[in-house]
Amino acid sequence: MSLLDEIKEAGLVGRGGAAYPSWKKWEAVKNAPGAKKYVVCNASEGELGLFKDLYILKHYPRQVFEGMKLAMDFLGTKEGYINFNKNYLDEVRNQVTFTVRQFANKGYNLHLFEEHPSYIGGEETALLEAIEGRRTQPRLKPPYPSDSGLFECPTLIHNVETLYNIALVAEEKYEQKRFYCLSENGKELGVFHYPDSWSVDQVLEEAKCKPPFDYFVQIGGSASGLVITKEQAKEQTMIGAGSIEAYPIDIDARTLLKRWFDFYAAESCGKCTPCRFGSYNLSHFAHDDRAIDWGAIMKIVEAMEATSFCALGRSVGVPVRSFRKNILNLED
């Protein structure tokens, strides 16, 4: 059985949030015409509540780079880029540079790219723009990176966890697990590796991270993630990039809105008007000392969902709507 078939049989999907089947990416880049192709490792991870990339790079660097090598060999290329959250690279620079030298000795050309930590840097085409020396802003699709990516060449882009999993598949050690980042009210508790079929409640129980207070959780990411009750957590499996953050059930709604909306305002790349002005205005509403104007907030959220250029602006509705419905018992 070929590695592509093994990846398909394992049901491997991307762990950056979209859960796109990995084998489809491989097949698309393989079949795309082009004399030169690239493989890119995306270690941007700029969302609140996510810190698994650094954990994996510290503890399993060999598997990450082996996964990258396997992808390069499959595509018949020796060219690769490793995009690092700049803060991460400072902590793993020695391991990374040592591995890059090893690759160079075998004929592989790996380039290190240090990105200023950003949420939009996790978007594939925005990352490509940054590597090419332009502003970190998303491109219009199509064409997709598999057809015209880095320097207009077919490009395979994977995050750190996916590359780690590819190495495990090749070694016949993949066990249908994923990494979970656990936090409590903004405090990091740790990274855990458990079956991807487990409920959120099971993960918290096994990790011994159930809060000592009445709580609800946000899953996927701590800015764009879904907000659910602890009862719903007993049935809900993980979605998105793997974050679970617990909050006190009696938390002031304004505290959460400030956290979410300030993040979006800071991370908006400014490319499109709905997100640029929408995120700014949401942050302004969150800091207004008067009663929360949910009507005005939801109008902005709806406009961003409907008209934003990329997923950053469109995702703002996920936490707001689920928090209103599941925790505040409000209807849109």
Token pair in block for residue 126: 């925005």
Is residue 329 pLDDT above 90, yes or no? yes
CA distance 75 to 97: 24
Q: What is the pLDDT of residue 167?
A: 97
User: pTM, whole model, 2 decimals?
Assistant: 0.95
Q: Phi/psi of residue 183, each to 5°? A: -140, 160
Q: Over 80: is that where the pLDDT of 116 sits?
A: no
d(CA 282, CA 300): 7
- pLDDT confidence of residue 92: 87
Average pLDDT over residues 210-216: 96
pLDDT tier for residue 223 given thresholds of 50, 70 and 90:
very high
Q: What is the CATH number of domain 177-248?
A: 3.10.20.600
- pLDDT digits over 43-77, tens only? 988 899 999 999 999 999 999 999 999 999 999 99
Q: How far apart are CA 100 and CA 112, in angstroms?
A: 9
At 318 the pLDDT is: 97
| Spans of all domains in the chain | 3-170, 177-248, 253-326
Can you state the percent helix, strand and coil of the chain, rounding each to 5?
45, 20, 35
Place 268 in a pLDDT band, splitting at 50, 70 and 90: very high
Q: Which fold has domain 3-170?
A: Rossmann fold (3.40.50)
pLDDT of 264: 95
Asked if 41 and 85 touch (Cβ cutoff 8 Å), the reply is no
User: Residues in the chain, how many?
Assistant: 332
**What is the average pLDDT score of the chain?**
94
Judged against a pLDDT cut of 80, whether residue 117 lies above it is answered with no
Mind listing the pLDDT tens digit for each residue in 132-182?
999 999 999 999 999 999 999 999 999 999 999 999 999 999 999 999 999
DSSP string, 139-188: PPSSSPTTTS-GGGS-EEEEEHHHHHHHHHHHTT---SEEEEEEEETTEE
- pLDDT-based confidence at residue 187 (cuts at 50, 70, 90): very high
Lowest mean pLDDT, pick from 1-5, 51-55, 90-94? 90-94
